[in-house]
Amino acid sequence: MTTDNSALSGIRVIDMSRVFAAPVGAQILGDLGADVIKIERPGVGDDGRGYGTAWVKGKDGIETRQSSFFTVSNRNKRSITVNHSKPEGQEIIRALVKDADVLIENYKVGDLARFGLDYESLKAINPRLIYCSVTGYGQTGPMAAKPGYDGLFQATGGMMAVTGIADGQPGAGPLKAGPSLVDFITGHNTALSILAALQYRSRTGEGQFIDIALLDTSVAMVSHIMQDYLISGMAPPRLGNGGNGGGPADLLQCSDGIVYLTAGTDEHYRRLTVLMGQPELNDDPRFDSNFKRAREGRAELINIINAWSSMISVTDLLDMFEEVGIPAAKYNTLPEVWEDDQVKHRNLRATTPHAFAEAGSVDLIASPLAQMSASPATIRRAPPMLGEHNVEVLQDLLGYSDERMAALKDLKII
């Protein structure tokens, strides 16, 4: 149940999306208090249930079919199973849409029109409906019909071109970012566009169609580096672990670990040279401008700093930087992230009750929106089991009888 201070209390979302990008968008709306009803295929469910390398372990031999992909993008949702390719399944979705505020789907362009579940068809039922389609390349254009996945768009949109070790160094070449960043940010753009559409509807009473594309997100997320190119006509080089602004900024080797340094202003750099006992480096013509330290002389300067930092422990180096006001941070492995004092303070590990998990709970990643003072994002439901809420939604919400439920199950509609 949502609470009175949930930002989206009273908003109902029909989530017909699968895998990652669009489900993340629906989850954000759920975190903010919307009632999100996830539509899944009977017996199979969201394809994302089978993605990833880890699954929530169920109790008493129960197979949760909750992979890491599914678990990270489907909390705060109710799951029902519906075969939308059959008339009886289409009837269920139309009944839900009648009183819904939002529908999110990520089928191929035009696919749902075959079943009368496209925007124009559902708009006739509910003119206030906000219908959001998430696809790889958008609804129009020469590639609109093509499927797309995160890695393709990291390659196409420019992310790989600016990620990886610089040319001329060992291991040089473009790299894909580890997480599915295009998918993840597309999910946020999905939620943002829907929030804007809800605000527009509150003023005009009108719903609308939203066309979200992974391609658009992949180009936009290259951000200031892409803007460098648009302004100068010159493609900035890959910088490996180097910063994108001032310098020096890079990983520093310590005697017992790694620290990331960002001495991004002239004053930060001056303080660094004094701290190192090498104040002459401040006026060295190889490094006497931010551009030289960040680009032309970056590798040479980082080597000099590493020769100094490698004799110092992580703790001591961070203390030294803190004392003189130079920004730096400890490099954390994934286990170390959850031992970080600030991560603990922010309650970023959100242990959530899970009735079907062996442990009785599942550890989730807290929403970055959880610190809103009046209407914070909350986690109220663990990711759902497949069809967990069939009775709750179809009987309690739509009024289906036991007999009708049994018949639909026999026909493999639910």
Q: Please choose, from the candidates 347, 344, 345, 338, the residue with its C-alpha nearest in 3D space to the C-alpha of residue 377.
A: 347
195: its two tokens: 């929030």
Check: CB of residue 314 under 8 Å from CB of residue 340.
Answer: no
Q: Please choose, from the candidates 19, 14, 40, 193, the residue with its C-alpha nearest in 3D space to the C-alpha of residue 103.
A: 14
Q: Which stretch of DSSP H or E encloses residue 157?
A: none
Q: Is 35 a catalytic residue?
A: no
- Count of CB atoms situated within 10 Å of the CB of 337: 11
Name the phi and psi angles at 160, rounded to 5. Answer: -65, -30
Q: Please choose, from the candidates 138, 126, 293, 106, the residue with its C-alpha nearest in 3D space to the C-alpha of residue 213.
A: 138
184: its two tokens: 């993840």
Supply the Cα-derived Rg of the chain in whole angstroms: 25
- The residue from 46, 118, 183, 250 that is catalytic is 183
Q: Please choose, from the candidates 106, 82, 77, the residue with its C-alpha nearest in 3D space to the C-alpha of residue 94.
A: 82
3-state secondary structure of 259: strand
358 Cβ contact list (under 8 Å, min separation 6): 57, 58, 59
Q: Please choose, from the candidates 153, 119, 122, 120, the residue with its C-alpha nearest in 3D space to the C-alpha of residue 136.
A: 153
Q: CA 397 to CA 394: how far, in whole Å?
A: 6
Active site residues: 183
